[in-house]
Amino acid sequence: MAEREWIMGLILENERGKRLYVTEKQWRNVLRIARRHGWEPLGTRPSIEYLKKRSRDPDGGYDTGMLDELVKSWNGSYLAGENQIVTYADALNISFALEEAVKQDEYNDKDISKMISFCKMGGFSLH
């Protein structure tokens, strides 16, 4: 039996609970295409709940000093699936840039179409 290849990916989840699974390669490609067609990234926002989990202390609470440091050091990355949040405005701007790419007949495939539709629904988190 052939060994199945594991493909790393992300789950994009919007505020209504709708999810879209993309491979890491697809996501990087979407970001690259969007940038080439006018998207200017605003940067992601950290998920405070996720950062609280990362700053747990032995008593089950969280270390507020560590939480503050994690928030201050947030880099706005779109790549790691750390529950970071892509804002509503940023998601719409991604969809507009992808639509421009399709209009220019450069990228017209179902993955791009799905991403456009998903981004038009508004902000989402990356898991």
Residue 8 is predicted with a pLDDT of: 81
Give the model's pLDDT for residue 1. Answer: 38
Asked if 37 contacts 105 with a C-beta cutoff of 8 angstroms, the reply is no
pTM: 0.88
Q: What is the pLDDT of residue 57?
A: 82
CA-closest candidate to residue 12, choices 103, 84, 62, 61:
84
Work out the pLDDT band at 6, boundaries 50, 70, 90. low
Host H or E run for residue 89: helix 88-103
The Cα 20–Cα 79 span in angstroms is 15
Q: Model confidence at 41, in pLDDT bands (50, 70, 90)?
A: very high
pLDDT confidence of 7, banded at 50, 70, 90?
low
Q: List the one residue out of 17, 2, 14, 45 whose CA is nearest residue 115.
A: 14
